[in-house]
Amino acid sequence: MKKIPFNQPHMGGKELFYIAQAHINGKLAGDGPYTKRCHTWLETTTRCDKALLTHSCTAALEMAALLLDIQPGDEIIMPSYTFVSTANAFALRGGIPVFVDIREDTLNLDERLIEAAITPRTRAIVPVHYAGVACEMDTIMEIAQRHNLKVVEDAAQGVMATYKGRALGSIGDLGTYSFHETKNVISGEGGALLVNRPEYAEAAEIIREKGTNRSQFYRGQVDKYTWQSIGSSFLPGELIAAFLWAQLEEAEQITKTRLENWSRYHAMLEPFEAKGMLRRPIVPEHCQHNAHMYYVLVESLNERQRILERLRQNGIDAVFHYVPLHSSPAGLRYGRTHGSLAVTESQANRLIRLPLWLGMTEADQQQVTRACAAFQIREGNFVEAV
Ligand SMILES: *Cc1c(COP(=O)(O)O)cnc(C)c1O
């Protein structure tokens, strides 16, 4: 029986060559030639105003909270069904995450529930594009405009995905990407901040360079650099940027291959969905996703545990996903909920992520789908499905 890991970080081939080049260039700190190449690529591909590499998407979210000048007591509307950093970045500044329920179909922040959660203290909305499938950005931007709120897109999973033809992360005031090894395009740890409003560009550079105007100094715009505001060290070194550059060069091919694997799962699981055994992902017409994730929703928490166990017995490493933040130990210490989070709780309990990585074969995927749907126990009865 072949072991199938949940994820295998992909290397295209040029990563180590570019790292060697960076060393030969003799510049290993941040903002060297490879970082600049990555910035230009991101700016061209996403059409954002300014892209800045960071250590992680977490770091980019923390920069966003600083840029928006989040103050203690400010409220930030976001899903509970997300990664810790979405909330933690704002909680670090004393902001209060306000958790709103998600949509049943895409598992994204339910835009129909946002307006009721707005109070005089609300400062921002943070939509998270789950699995690289876009939130309803037109509605979210319209609500934000009407209430004078900022929008930070957590597009950690959204590299190379679009909403009505626009790159995820380029639609809100700010957007954040992750290049963590579990994402599509990787540098081990890594991320980027996309700045979509020119008025934030200079402040973002300063925050990223320890609160100094060192970037302007390097461009010869000032004759010395000094402490300008609070900030931190958010920029990665050139070795990371060199690795990432090799991945960005290949980003289109990576996405294409992942989409092929994704579609194969989708076709293989169609008959099981037709029998009512599971639900496959739903991608709205106007969203081009990036095959970041393939998941299925099963009937109950209990059934999920049994299927995960069965997958493990078949050598397959499948996993569940977020523990909703409002039900985590820190969730309600730093944040609060607005309204029912019934959809969040239900989907979080029933979701299984299947292995998806470059190099998976059709046979691998067959092994996964068979083990996943071979039998289920419902109301005490075995249901043979294949
Ligand atoms: C992966 C992820 C992050 C964190 O990314 P890092 O680069 O590991 O900091 C944040 N938000 C979401 C939605 C993610 O999926």
For the residues of 302-334, what is the DSSP string, one character each? HHHHHHHHHHHHTTB--B--PPPGGGSTTHHHH
Domain contains 108:
yes
Contact (CB, 8 A) for 179 and 164: no
Q: Are 29 and 37 in contact (CB under 8 A)?
A: no
Q: Is the domain of 219 the same as that of 93?
A: yes
- Are both 294 and 354 inside the same structural domain? yes
Residue 183 is a catalytic residue? yes
- CA nearest neighbour of 327 among 87, 159, 115, 116: 87
231 occurs within a structural domain: yes
Same domain? 206 vs 307: no
Q: Whose CA is closest to 124, among 160, 81, 102, 93?
A: 93
Given 228, 249, 270, which residue is the final one in a domain?
249
260 & 240 share domain: no
Q: Does ligand 1 lie within 6 Å of residue 57's CB atom?
A: yes
Residue 149 contacts by C-beta under 8 Å, 6 or more apart in sequence? 118, 122, 123, 124, 125, 143
Ligand 1 centroid from CA 141, angstroms: 22
The domain boundary residue, chosen from 194, 229, 249: 249
Inside any domain, residue 5: no
> Do 221 and 359 sit in the same domain of this protein?
no
Neighbours of 269 (CB within 10 A): 23
Residue 102 forms part of a structural domain: yes
Residues 206 and 244 in one domain: yes
- Which distant-in-sequence residues (6+ apart) come within 8 Å of 267 by Cβ? none
The two beta strands, 287-288 and 162-163, are antiparallel
- Distance (Å) from CA 90 to ligand 1 centroid: 14
CA 58 / ligand 1 centre spacing (Å):
6
Q: How many Å is the maximal CA-CA distance in the chain?
A: 77
Q: How many Å apart are CA 194 and CA 175, to the nearest integer?
A: 5
pLDDT in tens, the chain (386 residues): 889 999 999 998 899 999 999 999 999 999 999 999 999 999 999 999 999 999 999 999 999 999 999 999 999 999 999 999 999 999 999 999 999 999 999 999 999 999 999 999 999 999 999 999 999 999 999 999 999 999 999 999 999 999 999 999 999 999 999 999 999 999 999 999 999 999 999 999 999 999 999 999 999 999 999 999 999 999 999 999 999 999 999 999 999 999 999 999 999 999 999 989 999 999 999 999 999 999 999 999 999 999 999 999 999 999 999 999 999 999 999 999 999 999 999 999 999 999 999 999 999 999 999 888 765 545 444 455 44
pLDDT of residue 372: 82
Mark 145-164 as b/e (b = at least 16 C-beta within 10 Å). eeeebbbbbbbbbbbbbbbe
Q: End-to-end distance of the chain based on CA atoms, in angstroms?
A: 19
68 lies in the same domain as 213: yes
Q: What is the pLDDT of residue 375?
A: 57
- Rounded to whole angstroms, how far apart are CA atoms 249 and 230? 34
Q: Do 70 and 84 have their domain in common?
A: yes
Catalytic residue among 2, 27, 183, 256: 183
Query: Which CATH number characterizes residue 336's domain?
Result: 3.90.1150.10
Token pair for residue 319? 């996993």
Residues 231, 304, single domain; the answer is no
pLDDT for 379 equals 44
Centre of ligand 1 from the C-alpha of residue 64, in Å: 14
Length of the chain, in residues: 386
Q: Is residue 333 part of a domain?
A: yes
86 CB within 6 A, ligand 1: yes
Residue 385 domain flag: no
Any atom of ligand 1 within 6 Å of the Cβ of 126: no
Residue with tokens 């020119």: 198
Instruction: Give the CATH number for residue 83.
Output: 3.40.640.10
Q: Examine the domain organization and report whether 231 and 365 are in the same domain.
A: no
Q: Is 301 found in the same domain as 226? A: no
- The domain in which residue 110 lies consists of 15-249
Residue type, 119: T
Sign of the Cα torsion 222, 223, 229, 231 reads positive
- Ligand 1 binding pocket includes 151 (Cβ within 6 Å): no
How many distinct structural domains can be found in the chain?
2
Distance of CA 102 to the CA centre of its chain: 16
Q: Do 127 and 154 contact (CB within 8 A), yes or no?
A: yes
218 occurs within a structural domain? yes
CA distances from 209 to 69, 140, 301 (A): 17, 31, 46
Residue pair 55/190 in contact (Cβ under 8 Å)? The answer is yes
DSSP letter at 122? E
Contact 209, 226 (CB under 8 A): no
Token pair for 320: 């569940």
Within this chain, do residues 303 and 234 fall inside the same structural domain, yes or no? no
Examine residue 267 and state whether it is found in any structural domain, yes or no. Answer: yes
Residues 6+ apart with CB under 8 A from 70: 76, 90, 93, 94, 95, 123, 124
Residue 251 CB less than 6 A away from ligand 1: no
Choose one of 54, 152, 178 to mutate for the ligand 1 pocket test, by most ligand atoms within 8 angstroms of C-beta. Answer: 178
Contact criterion met (CB below 8 Å) for 205 and 211 = no
- Would you say the CB of residue 85 lies under 6 angstroms from ligand 1? yes
3 state DSSP class of 94: coil
Residue nearest to atom 5 of ligand 1 (CA): 57
Q: Which of 222, 249, 276 is the last residue of a domain?
A: 249
* Residue in 344, 297, 321 with CA at minimum distance from that of residue 78: 344
Q: Phi, psi at residue 289, to the nearest 5°?
A: -90, 180
